Amino acid sequence: MKRVLSIQSHVVFGCAGNSAAVFPMRRLGIEVWPMNTVQFSNHTQYREGWQGMVMPSGHIRQLVNGLAEIGVLAQCDALLSGYLGSAEQGEEILAAVARLKALNPNALYFCDPVMGHPDKGCIVAPGVADFLKNRALACADMLAPNLLELEQLTGRDIRNVPEAIEACQQLRAQGVKLVMVKHLGKAGFAMDRFEMLLVCEEGTFHLSRPLYPFARHPIGVGDLLSATLLANLLAGCTPLAAFERTNASVDAVLAQTWLAGAYELQLVAAQHEMALPQVSIRATRL
């Protein structure tokens, strides 16, 4: 049994952050210890707004101390971080990573660098983007940016797939072992496709699948992608197999969400297909 400490946001209603990551990882056979950076009523892209709070300074440190005191921190195989409520929380996460790796040198740090997209309503606190670029990047074993985050992390304007690959190689040269670009967007081969990129020691791989014509695109897809990739890797899949299985699982959730005409990801309805994905789309080596 593999164990993941998942430190990211939580929403009471819907699927974002831990609310999009914990259930899928558990369905894939991973024991998950959720730790929340914020607790909101719903994700921040609802037009009507949201209610809730950022967890106070010291909250993460205290919870990690509690895990260490009962002797279970050393049993953790990976730490997954996502949406941060403050840059100070990021520093507490890096302290947790250092503490975990001192106890378990084989433990992984998977960083989902949520840097915000104000035009879409995804808002992060001041200093978080700089923290991710200047501090977290140096500690991450695995990274899962979207295109905008990849541009911010590397200081590049990325217009096509070769430039995206160069940016990923730049991150690998800085010590990141594996980079998954969650959505290539305008830098992809085709604007009417959902395209992802995986760059790791085994090579560079590209995946493409149809886009669903949602009236309002569901939130939390990136959180689901990162969690599912990590779960598959911890389950023993090769990076390529984990990439393909992740694509199939997430596509099954999106298909169910589209069929239901829903705004929130239909994780429960799609749980069987998500946990036992039918891989019909294979990645191409670039």
Q: What is the DSSP letter of 134?
A: I
Rg of the chain, C-alpha, whole Å? 17
144 annotated as belonging to a binding site for a ligand: yes
Q: How far from 123 is each of 27, 126, 200, 267, 277, CA to CA, in Å?
A: 29, 9, 30, 24, 32
Nearest Cα to 264, choosing from 223, 207, 211, 209?
Answer: 223
Q: What is the DSSP letter of 196?
A: E
112 annotated as belonging to a binding site for a ligand: yes
CA atoms within 13 A on the CB side of 107: 23
* 119 vs 146: CA distance, rounded Å: 15
Structure tokens at 11: 């929403």
Residue pair 16/9 in contact (Cβ under 8 Å)? The answer is yes
21 annotated as belonging to a binding site for a ligand: no
77 annotated as belonging to a binding site for a ligand: no
151 annotated as belonging to a binding site for a ligand: no
Largest CA distance in the chain: 51
User: What contacts 56, CB < 8 A, 6 or more positions away?
Assistant: none
44 annotated as belonging to a binding site for a ligand: yes
Site of tokens 């998942």: 6
204 annotated as belonging to a binding site for a ligand: no
Instruction: Output phi, psi for 243, to 5 deg.
Output: -65, -45
Residue positions in the annotated binding site for ATP? Answer: 112, 144, 149, 182
Residue positions in the annotated binding site for substrate? Answer: 9, 44-45, 223
Residue positions in the annotated binding site? Answer: 9, 44-45, 112, 144, 149, 182, 223
